[in-house]
Structure 1
């Protein structure tokens, strides 16, 4: 909003004498006004220039109206200055900036008196735009960023200060890049430069992160060749009208002073005018120091012209000499032999401190290459022929956990147990691995992990790891209510589910489920409860050192409307005489029927980490399965061989089932059943809910047995045994790896291969894999109905998905993920084909995943998928619960 400046110079009556008082009206800044004007008490009134005084007040820039006048009061002349203040600043924000946080910008602008509580100074507020642009120029931006200022009135009804404004500076950090030119490069191959700037050129827009990475890459290339300090001249590089002109600065030697060491400049490899190559100078020092007992040093002074003045110095006698032995001190995690191999100076060389400094830098790089950190202040010396390098390895003294909110739910010990132990040498890789294990539990988000000095004078190598932590919503409450009606029946289903993956703040998972539904056989209740501990952290054996997972559950679950089958077929001949050899026409086939299944039992699993990211798990499950036949609509055959209902209407075979007396022969046998299995799982994914990288692989082997089976040969209940084996591999690739122009990390390609086979000849077909229309991600081929693929003993499936996470966080959503998919698979049993002589199955489609949650309660992810296949070219819609693989 614009704020104009009005002023009044009041008509001055004939007033004389000395000024008695300066009176300021309308502001709390009276002292500021009195300090800036020239008039003071006892000033002769004839010397007061009202217009000049008014102009001085106006220069303050914080008043919208100014009136200046002299009044003749009984006590004497009074100079009255009436002002109306500009609105006060309620808040100051800088939007669109990536180079500094909001707090840093507020501090920078406060130095120009642009801060909350100050009166608005229009001039100063506009001048701050130039200040922001200068900060961007100092940060390496090769163009003048666009900055827009919006002055927004704070509503009068607002709880904020009355008559105030919000200042919003909006920065546009982007600029088009249509072409890139280079000047000043003589060292690097042009292809090296082109490759470094390829991303910026292909992206066609300026990106400060990519630009900075490119500059660092160029500087590294120069440094690797010995040209330290050379690279891109950011002060002279410019981006104007889409043309990025990259200017290189290659330092040259302007002077070479060797007087102090008594060596002619001609003995050096480099001459005045040559490119400044620090590595060449170091090699010369190593060569020329032979036989000297004084330490040779080098001073380099860069000049604004792009030149470097080089001078050499010599230390007192006795500080250097031939190295007769090497000594490495303080190293515990990197061997002495490995460190000595990395050094430039060795036995027989002459010691010089400048080469020892380079050796220390090599030690730092060696430690960093292994993930370790050491103190970067060099510590070396030379004594009686012994060259000593001292290493100070940083050690973890402890952790400081900073939760984002007071009174956190999580116990700190549940985080610390996954991290390197206090007293160990700080290793970034090990710390990162521990943090990933914490994140993988799904209850904690690590926002930052920074080592800071423990401030222990007796152990300066000790550091404290400060962890900035945000707790994620882990409690899930999901009620469900379904009411279905049809021409023949109506059904009611209610479901109540609760789970929490950070129960009691211990990262324990608890789950409870209660279902109630009506069915054709009556009112049914089901329930289950489960509890799992990701790390059984007890002071016994090695349980505190090796993560051991334990989980248990009790259940009595009901499944209604399960489809009966004859072998692998869900439809059979209505005529019993033709049923055995399946000799009827397909139009005379009806559904076998439906049944209800109740599983009651318990399960227990124990898993143990055997290698990093690798878990070995053993599980056992046992229970009793009860099967009951559901009433169905029966059909008969008329004289024309057509299926008719009880009213004589011709119907389709999918609208009716076998008579109950016949269908009961196909009902699975009730009885006991059990399964004992083991699995080996490797999982180093960065995020279990939406992986961007990593691999997840598993091999599962088990044995199932029981008595809930009726032998097809004898029709009698009999025992059985079968052995399934499954494996799966899942991996992920960020799209930017293949397409650099897509730098958004939320573009991800996901790949999956799964396969399984069951060994066994005579056991319930209900134990076969459900392939195709399956809620199990490992056996799903989307775009197919359940009737398109029979239960199978063997399957193999490959899947490709392209995903994008919108990071859409609102009051009711955690995020929204969109994806396209392609499934190609094979199953051993497909209707119309002999077993194991079946064709490939392929499906493709689109899906959306909604991660819902509000008020700290995280609801299960919901997936909506629409898949197409040759069997169903019009597509099939499926609603699924659970995240993408």
Structure 2
């Protein structure tokens, strides 16, 4: 209670005169019981009644309320009594506890430490002071006012909760800086269109709620747009306001006020700047050049904001005593990231001009803007380097380019991932620092590893050599294990179940693994299917360029049963026998992929598969015209078992930016393979070719991440087998397949098979822009699929399916869950529609 000391002394001084003025009908003394002397003295001088007040005017109930209103007491009891034949007012009080701590959460516009200092300076709410409930209530309004006075577009929600503990009370402030945003209104702009400004703030509207980074980003973008035009324009923070969901943006455009050239004497040099016109840095630079060339001296201009109008700028042209002369040569030194020819295009100085430092500085700023537009930076201060020099008629711009000296990885919380797993995803150090390329690598490479999340970055210059910069990246580990249990039931097949386990950061090296086991009803005992895979995403050993260039290796093992396949008699022209069979395919595969360029990868693989076929029992009578074939006849049509090996190579191109919801770019792939083996006693040999391409067209609103809200996606895939291949290696088309190249919704899974296939899809996709702790993305889809699989030319038929779908991208905190895709499709063979469910993202 530092502020109470003076008040307490005043109370003692004031009480003396009243003591001599006592009469029988007046108050003789005020006694406070239960409070320290300092607080008791404060209470005495705070009351309306004082010593000497007529007793008829002393109301104990009113005194109690007045004492409580000071905010320092939790209870007050007042009574009139006598002591030593004098009437006294006795107040029995229970003071509030001492403040043990003050906390602030939710504040991003103002640092919590600054808010705490504000509370201490203005209201004496700080650790060690007596809790004052009234001032705590008052502080809410003062904080809201302070936010608005400092340019926040609305008064935030402020709550304060007081909790008592053994060491005192804790005052916990919560600042709610959110507010709904439904539309943007613009006034005051003559140089930027209202549509441009509204689109700049569009991420706020799309987000439907105010967030400070989006707002500040839009404000900065508006300022940059004016700067790029050479104009002075800004958003008036006090006049702009968010109220009722409407963000009212008020633009101020700086204009020229008074123009003073008296310091240059009498010059016959017309100026382009005019009082009342928009302030234009390009025009101002031309005026500086004109005056410098006319006077033969270095000329500058002082700009001063008019006190009566912050949008009005008064100009005073002055001369400098700095050595000057004509510019005979302009030299660019130190530039390597941007060519001197490109730099020369942004310079305003011309050969023959009188050297003027202010104009040269403007040119240096133009060089900085050019560098920043390409992701680079320019240092203005470096030991032993002078950015601008004029020597013997030569104007030298010395460009100091920061260089990426190295990296430092910090972990927020426990560390699991080895640092080199992150470092190999970043650009090689040693070159010129390109912030855009670096951040793109963090977003697209590190951010998509799936087991760490970038949370903060920092550029730290070397104290001894500021040109060398260390990039400090802070990441947070994610839990990566995904356990996927599932159970299903239908009236035809009964119960089926599936269990899966996968992860992508084994040993902290980014190694991925997956195990899947499925149990399904089977009339012949083929109940179980399973698969396992293991991927080393980067062969990180010190040989050739393996540590610099990504090379991955994947091992796979599987044994899958596929039941209820229609048995066709190939000897009779693919006649349906009315019987069904189960195929079990078991095998293993090894695949290697290597990055060729940033957008191109190439790979090779080998897979060996053993397949056998078992006849299923006769279905219900009458299921086929003429009845099903007998066991003997069906067994004769059953394909013999096969053992085959396929060697293949592939090339893939991908320049898509937004992986979760692609709106631009192309993905293309091509593969060729050679297969051989045996089926029964027959030797097999074939070649296999596949090609595919996908592209995307984004449109509609721009969301907070810069991506569009709607997209059209186009896909086409085709393949052919030349030679003799077993039926188990044929292409199977139909259903909603994990591999989109065989997808044809509206039909049963792999209901079409053959040595050739072609499929195509067109999808309209809509991003509902939902991002919560569980639903990290909800997307609506409408689609059309076409395609077929066939063996001979006369078998080709263009099958069409169409429908709608929903995709859910799920997560629970840092626990990753697979994307869920639900589709409902129609086709001529399923006019009532067919439902599909699968795991995985968009094609």
Residue pair 1:295, 1:352 contacting (<8 A) in 2 also: yes
Residue pair 2:536, 2:552 contacting (<8 A) in 1 also: yes
Q: State the match for 1:464 in structure 2.
A: 470
Q: State the match for 1:6 in structure 2.
A: none
Q: Give the match's secondary structure for 2:747.
A: coil
Structure 1: how far apart are the matches of 2:822 and 2:775? 16
Structure 2: how far apart are the matches of 1:871 and 1:515? 28
Residue pair 2:148, 2:238 contacting (<8 A) in 1 also: no
Of residues 783, 788, 797, the one that matches 2:746 is 783
Q: Give the match's secondary structure for 1:432.
A: helix
Of residues 257, 262, 271, the one that matches 1:259 is 262
What does 1:631-646 align with in structure 2 at a 5 Å threshold?
A: 631-633=616-618, 645=621
In structure 1, runs of 5+ residues without a counterpart are 1-11, 569-578, 584-588, 636-644, 646-650, 711-715
Q: Give the match's secondary structure for 1:707.
A: strand
In structure 2, runs of 5+ residues without a counterpart are 1-21
Q: State the match for 2:600 in structure 1.
A: 614
Matched, 1:717 2:724: no
Of residues 734, 758, 782, the one that matches 1:772 is 734
1:372 deviation in Å? Answer: 0.9
Matched, 1:329 2:341: no
Of residues 71, 77, 94, the one that matches 1:61 is 71
Residue pair 1:292, 1:350 contacting (<8 A) in 2 also: no
Q: State the match for 1:713 in structure 2.
A: none
Q: Compared with structure 1, are the counterparts of its residues 279 and 847 closer, same or farther at alpha carbon in structure 2 (3 Å cutoff)?
A: closer
Matched, 1:428 2:435: yes
Larger displacement relative to structure 2 (163-172 or 56-65): 163-172
Structure 1: how far apart are the matches of 2:25 and 2:152? 61
Q: State the match for 2:835 in structure 1.
A: 877
Q: Give the match's secondary structure for 1:661.
A: helix
Q: How many residues align?
A: 801
Residue pair 1:126, 1:149 contacting (<8 A) in 2 also: no
Q: State the match for 1:534 in structure 2.
A: 537
Matched, 1:128 2:140: yes
Of residues 823, 832, 835, the one that matches 2:784 is 823
Q: Compared with structure 1, are the counterparts of its residues 769 and 103 closer, same or farther at alpha carbon in structure 2 (3 Å cutoff)?
A: farther
1:443 deviation in Å? Answer: 1.8
Residue pair 2:805, 2:821 contacting (<8 A) in 1 also: no
Larger displacement relative to structure 2 (396-405 or 542-551): 396-405
Matched, 1:401 2:409: yes
Q: State the match for 1:281 in structure 2.
A: 284
1:296 deviation in Å? Answer: 1.7
1:214 deviation in Å? Answer: 6.6
Q: State the match for 1:308 in structure 2.
A: 313
Residue pair 2:580, 2:615 contacting (<8 A) in 1 also: yes
Structure 1: how far apart are the matches of 2:501 and 2:678? 31
Matched, 1:659 2:630: yes
Structure 1: how far apart are the matches of 2:690 and 2:564? 25
Residue pair 1:251, 1:276 contacting (<8 A) in 2 also: yes
1:85 deviation in Å? Answer: 4.9
What does 1:23-422 align with in structure 2 at a 5 Å threshold?
A: 25=34, 31-34=38-41, 37-38=44-45, 60-67=70-77, 81-85=91-95, 99=109, 119=131, 121-122=133-134, 124-136=136-148, 138-139=150-151, 141=153, 145=154, 173-174=179-180, 182=187, 188=191, 192-197=193-198, 219-220=223-224, 222-228=226-232, 230=233, 233-236=236-239, 249-264=252-267, 267-290=270-293, 294-306=297-309, 307-316=312-321, 319-376=323-380, 379-405=387-413, 407-422=414-429
Larger displacement relative to structure 2 (123-132 or 557-566): 123-132
1:397 deviation in Å? Answer: 3.1
Q: State the match for 1:574 in structure 2.
A: none
Structure 2: how far apart are the matches of 1:692 and 1:100? 37
Of residues 558, 561, 568, the one that matches 2:560 is 558
Q: State the match for 2:719 in structure 1.
A: 757
Q: Give the match's secondary structure for 1:276.
A: coil
Q: Give the match's secondary structure for 1:679.
A: strand
Structure 2: how far apart are the matches of 1:514 and 1:430? 42
Q: Give the match's secondary structure for 2:762.
A: strand
Residues 823-848 of structure 1: per-residue CA shift (max 9 Å, x gap)? 231225499x9423x23503112234
Residue pair 2:615, 2:638 contacting (<8 A) in 1 also: no
Matched, 1:580 2:572: yes
Q: Compared with structure 1, are the counterparts of its residues 581 and 101 closer, same or farther at alpha carbon in structure 2 (3 Å cutoff)?
A: same
What does 1:11-30 align with in structure 2 at a 5 Å threshold?
A: 25=34
Larger displacement relative to structure 2 (677-686 or 103-112): 103-112
Q: Compared with structure 1, are the counterparts of its residues 160 and 431 closer, same or farther at alpha carbon in structure 2 (3 Å cutoff)?
A: farther
Q: State the match for 1:640 in structure 2.
A: none
Matched, 1:800 2:807: no
1:359 deviation in Å? Answer: 1.0
**In angstroms, what is the RMSD of aligned CA positions?**
4.7
Residues 182-211 of structure 1: per-residue CA shift (max 9 Å, x gap)? 56x6x638xx34553478799799968787
Residue pair 2:457, 2:474 contacting (<8 A) in 1 also: yes
Q: Give the match's secondary structure for 2:832.
A: coil
Of residues 688, 700, 708, the one that matches 2:670 is 700
Of residues 636, 639, 643, the one that matches 1:668 is 639
Residues 774-804 of structure 1: per-residue CA shift (max 9 Å, x gap)? 4232221222224864546121312214243
Structure 1: how far apart are the matches of 2:112 and 2:725? 67
Residue pair 2:505, 2:512 contacting (<8 A) in 1 also: yes
Q: Compared with structure 1, are the counterparts of its residues 30 and 704 closer, same or farther at alpha carbon in structure 2 (3 Å cutoff)?
A: farther
Q: State the match for 2:580 in structure 1.
A: 593
Matched, 1:627 2:612: yes
Structure 1: how far apart are the matches of 2:741 and 2:116? 52
1:354 deviation in Å? Answer: 0.6
Larger displacement relative to structure 2 (360-369 or 165-174): 165-174
Residue pair 1:792, 1:827 contacting (<8 A) in 2 also: no
Structure 1: how far apart are the matches of 2:841 and 2:112? 35
1:390 deviation in Å? Answer: 1.9
Structure 1: how far apart are the matches of 2:172 and 2:578? 71
Q: Give the match's secondary structure for 2:285.
A: helix
Structure 2: how far apart are the matches of 1:126 and 1:875? 64
Residue pair 1:92, 1:115 contacting (<8 A) in 2 also: no
Structure 1: how far apart are the matches of 2:642 and 2:244? 80
Matched, 1:448 2:408: no
Residue pair 2:156, 2:175 contacting (<8 A) in 1 also: yes
Residue pair 1:771, 1:781 contacting (<8 A) in 2 also: yes
Q: State the match for 1:476 in structure 2.
A: 482
Q: Compared with structure 1, are the counterparts of its residues 590 and 494 closer, same or farther at alpha carbon in structure 2 (3 Å cutoff)?
A: same
1:557 deviation in Å? Answer: 0.6
Q: Compared with structure 1, are the counterparts of its residues 35 and 207 closer, same or farther at alpha carbon in structure 2 (3 Å cutoff)?
A: closer
Of residues 633, 650, 661, the one that matches 1:691 is 661
Q: State the match for 2:652 in structure 1.
A: 681
1:38 deviation in Å? Answer: 4.5
Structure 2: how far apart are the matches of 1:48 and 1:506? 86
Q: State the match for 1:648 in structure 2.
A: none
Matched, 1:605 2:591: yes
Structure 2: how far apart are the matches of 1:868 and 1:197? 41
State the TM-score, normalizing by the size of structure 2: 0.81
Q: State the match for 2:16 in structure 1.
A: none
Q: Compared with structure 1, are the counterparts of its residues 763 and 292 closer, same or farther at alpha carbon in structure 2 (3 Å cutoff)?
A: same
Residue pair 2:551, 2:594 contacting (<8 A) in 1 also: yes
Q: State the match for 1:842 in structure 2.
A: 801
Q: Compared with structure 1, are the counterparts of its residues 687 and 474 closer, same or farther at alpha carbon in structure 2 (3 Å cutoff)?
A: farther
Q: Give the match's secondary structure for 2:258.
A: strand
1:540 deviation in Å? Answer: 1.0
Q: Compared with structure 1, are the counterparts of its residues 250 and 606 closer, same or farther at alpha carbon in structure 2 (3 Å cutoff)?
A: closer
Q: State the match for 1:641 in structure 2.
A: none
